[in-house]
Amino acid sequence: MSARPTIILHTDKPAGALAVLAETHPDLDVHACDTYAGLPALIERVAAEVVYSIRFDGTPRYPRQALVESPTVKWVSIGGSGTDHLGRWDPAHVTVTNSAGVAAGMLAEYALGAMLSFSLDLRGFERRQQARQWGGGRVEPIEGKTVLIIGLGKTGEAVARRTQAMGMRTLGIRARPKPMPSLDEVHGPDALLALIGRADFIVCCVPLLPSTRGLLGEAAFAAMKPTAVLIDISRGGVVEEAALLSALDGGRIKGAALDVFATEPLPAEHPLWGYGNVAVTPHCAAVYDGWDIKSVRMFADNLARYRKGEPLENVVNPERGY
């Protein structure tokens, strides 16, 4: 690492990011790139040492090789929390950090909003309103209900704090279980099937790893209550969509709120679009006004540490995905 590294800001909205770096590190040579195709050549041309990158145009064309296999890039700072689009990398060659926590509160509010939508039957009331139908409505509280949070990183913790404040019983699963103040119970991954049958709401917020791919499959859906609601704010591939479709078709769960999918954008012919008890959102639960600037400021703070030779925050272990 060097005290004056050459920086690339790889984002579809470079103006704000450039302004933050001009304010916080005015002495550095900073370049912007707003396409996937242009990044490899720019890295080579300027011999970039540090790249801040956002996955702004999906995963299939993301230039991961140019980042993790470059002879000059020593640090890749990911603007979001997920790093599955980087694939595998050698931490001895390149350090990868993420912006974990930048949208934890917003993701938690999405999860809580989904719970309230189902408990208050807002979609049912919308259908009745469109039919100009009075009566037949029923609501129920989430207070006293049980939520199972799968993955207790910053997002999972934020979900736990909000649901506990609403009077819910909070169960959690994490790779290395330990007591946590906002959780009534914390268990390891082996307890998934035992816990899932106790939950009224299941919130999935784990990274996509070989160990989590297909985590919620046939066995998990078979163990759920018929009144359970799945809320997926993790990554496409953690939930087996075929198993989810089977559970929906069989009436074995109450419904689902889904922000992530195995294929994105979700194809127009995909059956998930057609369920009245499924909320489909386009991988936007973490997108709010100002999130990108907050993420760049986190990067700028970490860049100050990098330049001083201090340990970086939010270093990602490629084996764990966080």
pLDDT of residue 2: 83
pLDDT of residue 137: 85
pLDDT of residue 148: 99
| CATH superfamily of this structure's domain 7-102+288-308 | NAD(P)-binding Rossmann-like Domain (3.40.50.720)
**Alpha-carbon distance 69 to 12, whole Å?**
22
Buried b (16+ CB within 10 A) or exposed e, 268-307: eeeebeebeebbeeebebbebeebbebbbbbbbebbeebb
**Alpha-carbon distance 316 to 78, whole Å?**
10
- Positions of E strands within 3-153: 7-10, 30-33, 50-53, 75-78, 95-97, 146-150
Q: Which amino acid is at 321?
A: G
Terminal Cα distance for the chain, rounded? 22
pLDDT digits (tens, 9 = 90+) for 94-142: 999 999 999 999 999 999 999 999 999 999 999 999 999 998 889 999 9
Please give the model's pTM, rounded to 2 decimal places: 0.92
pLDDT of residue 126: 94
pLDDT of residue 321: 84
Q: Quick check: do 7-102+288-308 and 104-280 share a fold?
A: yes
pLDDT of residue 277: 97
pLDDT at 164 over 80: yes
Mean pLDDT across the chain, nearest whole number? 96
**Residue length, the chain?**
322
Share of the chain above pLDDT 90, in %: 96
pLDDT at 1 over 80: no
**Alpha-carbon distance 108 to 117, whole Å?**
14
pLDDT at 293 over 80: yes
pLDDT digits (tens, 9 = 90+) for 218-266: 999 999 999 999 999 999 999 999 999 999 999 999 999 999 999 999 9
pLDDT digits (tens, 9 = 90+) for 166-224: 999 999 999 999 999 999 999 999 999 999 999 999 999 999 999 999 999 999 999 99
In this prediction, residue 320 has a pLDDT band, given cuts at 50, 70 and 90, of confident
List the domain boundaries for the chain.
7-102+288-308, 104-280
Please list the residues that pair with 255 across neighbouring strands: 229
Three-point CA angle 286, 218, 160, nearest 5°? 35
pLDDT of residue 133: 94
pLDDT of residue 59: 87
**Residues with catalytic roles:** 235, 264, 283
Burial class (CB in 10 A: 0-12, 13-18, 19+), 73: buried
For domain 104-280, is the CATH number 3.40.50.720?
Answer: yes
pLDDT at 22 over 90: yes
